[in-house]
Amino acid sequence: MKYTCGADADRAAMLASIGVRSVDELFAGIPKDFRLKGGLDLPEALSEIEVMRRMEELAGKNRPGRCFAGAGSYVHYLPAAVDALASRSEFYTAYTPYQAEVSQGTLTAIFEFQTFICRLTGMDVANASMYDGATALAESVLMSVGVSGKKTVAVADTLHPHYRRVLETYCWANDVEIRTAHGEAGVMMTPAADALDGASALIIQSPNFFGCVEDVSALSSAAHAAGAHSIVVVTEPHSLGLLAPPGKSGADIVCGEAQSFGNPVGFGGPALGMLAAGAGFMRRMPGRLVGRTVDSAGKEAYALTLQTREQHIRRERATSNICTNQGLCALRAAIYLSVLGNGIRKLAILNHKLAARCKKSLSSKGFRPVFERPYFNEFAVKIPGAPAVMKRLEEEGYVPGVHLGDYYEEYEDCVLICCTEMTGPDDMDGFAEAVARFAK
């Protein structure tokens, strides 16, 4: 717990500096009827020792859950260096750099984040981050529509349902039609010709919402043959340490969620959107773009390039209304990836092996996978009476996965299971035994 205190003398000096006589005078513009009368209805003040004991008492009520949930938000080990460096005040208090020349540290970190994303995705350029994966997808579609002039997109039905909902909102507001490209047995397969006819882009997620790896190369080729762009969504970026970069498989735009790079799962947020594209989309990319150059003395320097915040003030002419970035989350991702280095491949392989072991453990209890397709670190399994079983598992201290029946009626008894390096062999065996016990 950090200790911060403002002494009476400090407050008096600040009031004098801004030319007011009291704190009440600062709020003189607020009508008296709206001001607090009397004290707040709060318990008696506690000493520091009593506060710490109370916090420990509350913390003791938390149950450490053994997590098997993924579907776009993943629990990974966070090296100590991430918190230590990201918590430094020069980073922690910084916002989007407006006067770039005095923000070299922040600009350098953003540039490194962009570089990591480009190398992992195989794309030419990446921006300084988006709000989350879903809005990154929506912005990607607007980029495609802006380049092609076509007002229709085809979306694989294996896309994350949450992303689909956000995309529907953006497309409704921009008069863009959405067509569904239906898949088969957990993957997209070859999209129907009518879905791609006149479409600006085909949207693919790989690994998709069911955990299955899509054939990005074949699907991108089908999109290009129909005159459409290929937009690839990645919600578990650790998969890029093992699978071929989408940019090398024909993707025109790669977007998605980078939360699992150095950011904890904090009750659903904050998220960290990523967006990368080919050079032809560069001037239509939203957010911040940092470039490396040299200053007047010939020394290496960094600057915002191609876009300025002022470009986006006139909303009706804006490339995008997103004109900020998840700077602290992107910094954490850059630190995480620099610490991990080439170890991301080893970690990706470990994630896959752990998922395979969990899948085998469940299969030994009679619970078969829903799809026999290549996967990364999550897979769908059929569990009779899944909702009731999941509730019992939660009571046992498990976070038992994601119920697919909440999104697809035909998968009412199916659960999406995820394993990362945080899932141990004993956790998997205990989980499989618990599932078998409660599914009877």
pLDDT for res 311: 54
Domains and CATH numbers, the chain: 80-340 (3.40.640.10), 343-438 (3.90.1150.10)
pLDDT for res 426: 93
pLDDT for res 324: 60
pLDDT for res 315: 62
pLDDT for res 193: 84
pLDDT for res 230: 98
3-state secondary structure of 378: strand
Q: What is the pTM of this model?
A: 0.86
Which amino acid is residue 300, in one-letter code? Answer: E
Say how many Å lie between the first and final Cα of the chain, rounded: 47
| Cα(337)–Cα(343) distance, integer angstroms | 9
141-187 per-position pLDDT tens digit: 999 999 999 999 999 999 999 999 999 999 999 999 999 999 899 99
| Cα(407)–Cα(58) distance, integer angstroms | 34
Structure tokens at 262: 């150095």
Integer CA distances (angstroms), 261 to 100, 345, 409, 426, in order = 26, 13, 32, 25
229 neighbors 144 (Cβ within 8 angstroms): yes
**Surface-to-core class of residue 97, CB atoms within 10 Å of its CB (0-12 exposed, 13-18 middle, 19+ buried):** buried
Burial annotation 189-211 (CB, 10 A radius, 16+ → b, else e): bebeeebbeebbbbbbbbbbbbb
pLDDT for res 107: 86
6-25 per-position pLDDT tens digit: 788 888 999 999 999 888 88
Half-sphere exposure of 14 (CA within 13 A, CB side): 9
pLDDT for res 268: 75
pLDDT for res 130: 86
What residues of the chain score a pLDDT lower than 70? 1-5, 93-102, 307-319, 321-325
